Amino acid sequence: MKHICRFVLTVMFVTYPVILWAQAFDEPDAAVHTSPGVVHSDAGLMGFPQPLSLSDIDGQRETPAIIVAQAIAGEEIPARELATHAGKEAPEEGEEEVPLIADPIAPFNKAMYHVNDKLYFWLLKPVTQVYSHTVPEPFRVVFNNAFDNLWAPSRIVNNLLQLRFKAAGNEFIRFIFNTIAGIGGLGDVAAPALGIKKQEADFGQTLGHYGIGHGFYLVLPVFGPSSVRDGVGLAADRFMYPLSYISTSDLTFGEAAGIYAGEKVNDTSFHIGEYESFKDSAIDPYVGMRDAFVQYRQKKVEDSKK
Amino acid sequence: MSLQEDAMKKSLIGIALFLCVIIPLPVFAGVPLDTVKTHVDKVLEVLRDPSLKAESSKKLKKDKICAIAEKMFDFTELSKRTLAQHWSKFTPEQQKEFTSLYKSLLENTYADKILLYTDEKILFTKEVPLTEKTAEVQTMVVRSTQETPIYYRVILKDGTWMVYDVIVEGISIINNYRSQFREILVNNPPEYLLETLRKKVGKA
């Protein structure tokens, strides 16, 4: 018990000041530790708050002066934003760049797409509906935090591999803080308390960060749209999943599958209706999903380079 | 970065702010964001209206949202950019029909997605100018377990800012539909796409 106290105190009084100091160098769009009441303000220059919320009672808004000030002061963001969009922006008609992916095994992928489709409607959705009627949302949010916390080691390692040391450090702090103060990760207390947001990172993104392309599109049964690169990424991330190592022997396949199923059902309980809506709005859902996957992953890789 | 650079930055901000007061601002700083926000606010009003909460009012809600979308989105621009190089393969009549069908499809899609909304917080975080006539309005939808960035790309036409693309978590609507339509148009004539759209919209 004494050791735990000492450990927690060290974390709070050594690493917290280090984080404060690090925030000065941090990108302005990272969350800044504001007063407890203000949870979602976007930090501007040097913590200059730019709160803009529909539910903001003051109705405070980002004035044009601040936007221009950002640009004039040579702040990174506008330039970076413009650079990122240069590839995607189409001032002229029909010249917009569209990320593409090869799909040489399309028949297999389409079959897998249909398998996953049926799995969703026949298995995942009914189970999730029962689950979300049985378990109240606050509990599901708590479980979501706990599951999410378990992916922290993977995020830490991948942030390090991408040489995003601040992000890795942040994730490390989050992991320790949430595991201890958040009681095993049940609460994401790092966000409101320390103002540190989750820094997503996965191995597929890491590979993309270093210029490795997708290879080709690959729809995995159960796991969904992926690619050669991201499939490898999934497997690699699984190795960094802590629950694989808690018992003296590794988890049996059944146990691991059970945990994955639990995580999947809990997560889906927050997203019921989205897949149906996507299918409804698509002319060709298979192509739509493939394209959405490619765009989404490209954004992730772009984000990792910021 | 050192503390000196910090201080330098701070003084730069001070100067910039001072300059902004005495130098006229760029023409559209703030207006795109305001425009989008006004429209989104109207939509949220409809969603939060207690008299429309009942299941039976769903159609009415949807109609109201479609009316707002009409003013918010520039469907011609959307259609042109979605079809890209295939646009010229369509006759003017077909172009007109496509725009109208695409509009119905998008309005339905947008309305359906919006109706899934249940009290999340929407933050308007930033406005980024892209070219002379286009800008990106960045918003964030905050839910209990995640934050979803939604960016609206707007274009200045006849003095009004209208939306021509919506990017959700990096996924652009234009790009997404473009890849779907391209798949169809590569092997089929424009009429085939129009027929597919007619069936799709007719069902909705």
Phi-psi region of B154 (alpha: psi -120 to 50; beta: other; left: phi over 0): beta
Q: Which residues of chain B neighbour A79 with C-beta distances below 8 Å?
A: none
* Lowest mean pLDDT, pick from A122-126, A137-141, A195-199: A195-199
Question: Is the separation of the CB atoms in B135 and B127 below 8 Å?
Answer: yes
Whose tokens are 């003017």? That residue is B92
Backbone angles phi, psi at B142, to 5 degrees: -100, 115
Position A17 scores a pLDDT of 56
CA-based nearest residue in chain A for residue B43:
A54
Using pLDDT thresholds of 50, 70 and 90, give the confidence band for residue A118. very high
Position B12 scores a pLDDT of 67
Tell me if residue B138 falls in helix, strand or coil.
strand
Using pLDDT thresholds of 50, 70 and 90, give the confidence band for residue B101. very high
Give the containing element (helix H, strand E) for B149: strand B147-157
CA nearest A283: which of B89, B90, B98? B98
Position A31 scores a pLDDT of 33
Question: Is the separation of the CB atoms in A164 and A201 below 8 Å?
Answer: yes
Higher-confidence residue: B112 or B136?
Answer: B136
Q: Which residues of chain B neighbour A290 with C-beta distances below 8 Å?
A: 179
Question: Is the separation of the CB atoms in A208 and A304 below 8 Å?
Answer: yes
Position A71 scores a pLDDT of 38
Q: Do A74 and B12 touch (CB under 8 A)?
A: yes
Partners of residue B83 on adjacent β-strands: none
Structure tokens at A22: 């690090």
Structure tokens at A90: 């189409």
Question: Is the separation of the CB atoms in A252 and A144 below 8 Å?
Answer: no
Q: Do A296 and B9 touch (CB under 8 A)?
A: no
Q: Is the pLDDT of residue B111 over 90?
A: no
At B8, the amino acid letter reads M
B187/A contact by beta carbon, under 8 A: no
Q: Do A82 and B130 touch (CB under 8 A)?
A: yes
- Cβ atoms < 10 Å from Cβ of A280: 16
Q: Which residues of chain B neighbour A94 with C-beta distances below 8 Å?
A: 80-81, 84-85, 87
How far apart are the C-alpha atoms of A114 and A221, rounded to whole Å? 9
C-alpha A2, offset from chain centre: 35
Whose tokens are 């772009």? That residue is A302
Mean per-residue pLDDT of chain A: 72
Q: Is the pLDDT of residue B55 over 60?
A: yes
User: Which residue of B1, B6, B13 is the best one to mutate when testing the A interface, meaning the one whose CB has the most A CBs within 10 A?
Assistant: B13
B126-165 tens-digit pLDDT: 899 988 889 999 999 888 778 889 999 999 988 899 999 9
B76/A contact by beta carbon, under 8 A: no
State the smallest CA–CA distance between residue A207 and chain B in angstroms. Answer: 19
Q: Do A287 and B183 touch (CB under 8 A)?
A: yes
The closest CB to that of B142, out of A40, A277, A295, belongs to A40
- Give me the mean pLDDT over the B34-41 stretch: 90
SS (H, E, C) B78-130: HHHHHHHHHHHHCCHHHHHHHHHHHHHHHHHHHHHHHHCCCCCEEEEEEEEEC
DSSP β-ladder status, A224-227 and B134-142: unpaired
Contacts of A221 (CB under 8 A, 6+ apart): A112, A115, A116, A119
Q: What angle do CA B15, B18, B20 make, to 5 degrees?
A: 110
Q: Where are the alpha helices (DSSP H) in A96-242?
A: 106-119, 125-134, 137-150, 152-161, 165-180, 190-194, 203-209, 228-239
Q: Is the pLDDT of residue A222 over 70?
A: yes
How far apart are the C-alpha atoms of B76 and B155, rounded to whole Å? 12
Distance (Å) of CA A205 to CA A153, A213, A291: 15, 10, 17
- Give me the mean pLDDT over the A184-204 stretch: 78
Using pLDDT thresholds of 50, 70 and 90, give the confidence band for residue A5. low
B8/A contact by beta carbon, under 8 A: no
* Lowest mean pLDDT, pick from A4-18, A44-58, A101-115: A44-58
Structure tokens at A77: 């963001």
Q: What angle do CA A129, B106, A296 make, to 5 degrees?
A: 65
Q: Is B83 exposed, middle or buried, given 0-12, 13-18 or 19+ CB atoms closer than 10 A?
A: buried
A47-91 tens-digit pLDDT: 333 333 333 333 333 333 433 443 344 333 333 333 333 333 333
Using pLDDT thresholds of 50, 70 and 90, give the confidence band for residue A191. confident
Q: Per residue in B113-134, is it b (16+ CB within 10 Å) or e — as a string?
A: bbbeeeebebbbbbbbbbeeeb
Question: Is the separation of the CB atoms in A147 and A266 below 8 Å?
Answer: yes
- Give me the mean pLDDT over the A265-294 stretch: 91
Question: Is the separation of the CB atoms in B152 and B140 below 8 Å?
Answer: no
CA-based nearest residue in chain A for residue B201:
A281
How far apart are the C-alpha atoms of A299 and B41, rounded to whole Å? 28
Question: Is the separation of the CB atoms in B86 and B194 below 8 Å?
Answer: no
- Cβ atoms < 10 Å from Cβ of A278: 17
User: Which residue of A26, A109, A263, A295 is the best one to mutate when testing the B interface, meaning the one whose CB has the most B CBs within 10 A?
Assistant: A295
Cα dihedral A11, A14, A20, A26, rounded to 10, equals -80
